[in-house]
Amino acid sequence: MEAELRERVRRLLADHDPAGTDRLDFLRARFDAGLAWVHFPPGLGGLGAPRALQALVDAELEAAGAPDNDPRRIGIGLGMAAPTLLRYGTEEQKQRFLRPLWTGEEVWCQLFSEPGAGSDLAALATRAVPEGDGWRVDGQKVWTSTAHTARWAILIARTDPDLPKHRGITYFVCDMTDPGVEVRPLRQLTGEAEFNEVFLTGVRIPDTHRLGGVGEGWQVAQTTLNNERVAIGGQAMPREGGMVGVVAATWRERPELRTHELHQRLLKAWVDAEVARLAGERLRQQLAVGQPGPEGAAMKLAFARLAQELSGLEVELLGEEGLAYDDWTMRRPETVDFNGRQAGYRYLRAKGNSIEGGTSEILRNIIAERVLGLPAEPRTDKDMPWKELPR
């Protein structure tokens, strides 16, 4: 299989010289050659090859100067929408959505969290009511990254309020350009408006844009959530990559700032970061042979804890200089630029790491129950119809 992949890469580069080919044309050709995500089926950007061989393809194309699809900008589509579409989508849905998703021609966002249902996502109140050959959706979502640039959204909505909260939920693909979809910026602690509020008023979604069965949305959403946690916490990272590299560099370059106490904290954080990096590598190896499990929750939890610990350490190391803030101008960024801003920005932005993609409290419950096998937390609302829940 390795030899076949190398030959396919050679033919792609011969037919589409990266130096003289339009970026988008190259990405489309790469998808059609089955070299986008090699573990996907033929015709959907892949070849049904082992997932571990993707690294071989990526390395050969990078060495040849081939353009990438800017994965940070389209991370929700790649990391969350695509694996859900692959598992639950119809053949027509896969053919329609996966190619422009991978090339970045169409950006995706995730309409899951709500003002009254963030940590307890299953308590969501956005309603989808049958109407004609589709559904009418009304409700409000919050903390929605990239909604201001997205063409499509993955959406969960309540379709049967008479059932307990984890049932009676259905999963849809929502066109963000449809009438009734309103996106408002949500300014954050950093001054940026990276997230959004999304209001849905009489939004019409055809039944052909439903993923999975009616009332089975919670099960479908688990695929999305498991992949989301892996996408956030399981990113490939070189030694001293990310936040620990930034703080270690400051430590080496600014000897006048050093104290014994800060040295001890930095050493511990460095070891923790290395353990997390190697655990992430093991998780990616597990992914190569199957679907992500609850292990992704542990990685996401570790990522959030480390980011907050290191950003706090950096501010303390820099003293008054660390309290300075470079710019409060409201921006609408498409990605988080941790390394391009000052320590104050990193400190404030890292606070969101324990909220986004599942709060640390919820992730601890998942680890306790699904990984460690501890008794489940008492839940009095487990069998109660959603409409009878106190709100």
pLDDT at position 391, please? 75
Partnered with residue 130 across adjacent β-strands are 135
Write out the two tokens for 86. 């692959």
pLDDT at position 58, please? 95
pLDDT at position 348, please? 94
Furthest-apart CA atoms within the chain: distance in Å: 71
pLDDT at position 221, please? 96
Query: Which band of pLDDT confidence, cut at 50, 70 and 90, is reported for residue 297?
Result: confident
Residue 129 in this model has a pLDDT that exceeds 80: yes
What DSSP line would sit under 214-255, residue for residue?
TTBHHHHHHHHHHHHHHHHH-----TT-THHHHHHHHHHH-G
- CA 194/CA 328 separation, integer angstroms: 13
DSSP strand pairing (152-158 vs 108-111): parallel
In this structure, which amino acid lies at residue 151?
R
Per the CB < 8 A criterion, the answer to whether 132 and 184 are in contact is no
pLDDT at position 185, please? 96
Mean pLDDT of 361-382: 86
Partnered with residue 42 across adjacent β-strands are 46
pLDDT at position 44, please? 97
- CA 220/CA 226 separation, integer angstroms: 10
- CA 40/CA 95 separation, integer angstroms: 12
- CA 131/CA 13 separation, integer angstroms: 49
Which are the catalytic amino acids?
Answer: 228
- CA 162/CA 257 separation, integer angstroms: 61
Query: Which band of pLDDT confidence, cut at 50, 70 and 90, is reported for residue 238?
Result: confident
Q: Percentage of residues in the chain with pLDDT exceeding 90?
A: 72
pLDDT at position 363, please? 87
- CA 62/CA 56 separation, integer angstroms: 10
pLDDT at position 183, please? 98
Report the SS3 class of residue 305. helix
pLDDT at position 292, please? 65
For the packed helices 260-287 and 295-318, what is the interaxial angle rounded to 10 degrees? 160
Per the CB < 8 A criterion, the answer to whether 250 and 314 are in contact is yes
- pLDDT digits over 193-231, tens only? 989 999 999 999 999 999 999 999 999 999 998 888 777
In this structure, which amino acid lies at residue 27?
L
Task: Give the residue carrying structure tokens 């998703």.
Answer: 101
In this structure, which amino acid lies at residue 190?
T
- pLDDT digits over 78-94, tens only? 999 999 999 999 999 99
- pLDDT digits over 334-351, tens only? 888 777 789 999 999 999
Query: Which band of pLDDT confidence, cut at 50, 70 and 90, is reported for residue 383?
Result: confident
Per the CB < 8 A criterion, the answer to whether 385 and 123 are in contact is no
Mean pLDDT of 139-143: 96
Residue 22 in this model has a pLDDT that exceeds 90: yes
Write out the two tokens for 13. 């580069």
Q: Percentage of residues in the chain with pLDDT exceeding 70?
A: 98
pLDDT at position 291, please? 63
Mean pLDDT of 181-187: 96
pLDDT at position 299, please? 85
Who wins on pLDDT, 355 or 147? 147
Per the CB < 8 A criterion, the answer to whether 4 and 11 are in contact is no
pLDDT at position 228, please? 83
pLDDT at position 371, please? 83
Size of the chain, expressed as the number of residues it contains: 391
State the Cα angle at 346 between 351 and 195, rounded to 5°.
60
Can you count the helices (H) and strands (E) in the chain? 13, 8
- CA 270/CA 250 separation, integer angstroms: 13
Per the CB < 8 A criterion, the answer to whether 157 and 190 are in contact is no
- CA 186/CA 198 separation, integer angstroms: 10
Q: How far is CA 214 from CA 85, 129, 178, 289, 334, in A?
A: 16, 11, 22, 30, 33
Task: Give the residue carrying structure tokens 């956005």.
Answer: 126
Residue 326 in this model has a pLDDT that exceeds 70: yes
Per the CB < 8 A criterion, the answer to whether 168 and 389 are in contact is no
Write out the two tokens for 167. 């049932």
State the Cα angle at 298 between 293 and 304, rounded to 5°.
135
- Report which DSSP code applies to 77: I
Mean pLDDT of 259-274: 95
